């Protein structure tokens, strides 16, 4: 069941549980993070909402940070395993169906599986990237380059990506773009 989008200032009027539930699609879940975020209302405006989300994401204990990052699907996850928002963001809704495109999708999918496994083995959490409509093939060099990053820096980058994705989803759902 798809939840109806709740924009500001209505988010500020909800109780904490309802606010967390309303924000869940923006962050792919992560209940402990969402509970903390709901507790720091009122937001008043979009900028404050995402400033507070970013501050909380960076301040929570590492197990909660990993839970927040891992709430997002793996890059290139099977289409049936991702949320409707991720489905569109990862480009499944616009891919061509011809044989050449299918072969390229298979190559990219295999590379993403390999790189995701290497990333998760190295860092202990999923790679979270603000896809922003880019084709999955364009993500390969970025994912490959992260494998040489410092774990703390990569955790910081991934948390920023989570908040950037949520802010973009908010703007899309609110009709602000």
**pLDDT surpasses 90 at 31:** yes
Residue for token digits 């599986």? 113
Residue 95 confidence class, pLDDT cut points 50, 70, 90: low
pLDDT at residue 85, rounded to an integer: 82
Range in 56-70, 74-88, 93-107 with the lowest mean pLDDT: 93-107
Q: What is the pLDDT of residues 117-142, one digit of tens each?
A: 999 999 999 999 999 889 889 999 99
pLDDT at residue 96, rounded to an integer: 41
Identify whether the C-beta of residue 73 lies closer than 8 Å to the C-beta of residue 82: yes
């Amino acid at each position: 069941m798809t939840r109806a989008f709740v924009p500001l200032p209505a988010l500020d009027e909800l109780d904490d549980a309802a606010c967390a539930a309303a924000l869940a699609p923006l962050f792919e879940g992560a209940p402990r993070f969402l509970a903390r975020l709901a507790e720091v209302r009122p937001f008043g405006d979009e900028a404050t909402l995402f400033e507070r989300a970013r501050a909380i994401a960076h301040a929570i204990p590492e197990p909660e940070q990993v839970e927040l990052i891992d709430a997002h699907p793996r890059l290139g996850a099977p289409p049936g395993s991702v949320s409707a928002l991720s489905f569109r963001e990862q480009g499944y809704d616009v891919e061509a169906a011809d044989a050449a495109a299918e072969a390229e999708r298979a190559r990219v999918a295999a590379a993403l599986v390999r790189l995701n496994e290497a990333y998760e083995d190295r860092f202990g959490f999923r790679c979270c990237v603000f896809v922003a409509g880019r084709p999955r093939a364009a993500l390969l060099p970025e994912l490959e380059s992260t494998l040489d990053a410092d774990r703390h820096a990569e955790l910081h980058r991934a948390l920023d990506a989570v908040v950037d994705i949520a802010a973009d989803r908010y703007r899309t759902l609110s009709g602000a773009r």
